[in-house]
Amino acid sequence: MNLSISDLRSPLGDLKAAWHDGHLCALAFTDHWQRTERFLQRRFGAIDWSAAKGTDLRTRLDRYFAGDLQAIAGIEVDAGGTPFQQSVWRALRRIPIGSTTTYSALAREIGAPSAVRAVGAANGANPIWLIIPCHRAIGADGRLVGYAGGLERKQWLLEHEGALQSERQLPLARAIA
Provide the annotated active-site residues. Answer: 134
DSSP one-letter string for the chain:
-EEEEEEE--TT--EEEEEETTEEEEEEEGGGHHHHHHHHHHHHSS-EEEE--S--HHHHHHHHHTT-GGGGTT--B-----HHHHHHHHHHHTSPTT-BEEHHHHHHHTT-TT-HHHHHHHHHT-SBTTTS-GGGEE-TTS-----TT-HHHHHHHHHHTT-BSTT-S-BS-BS--
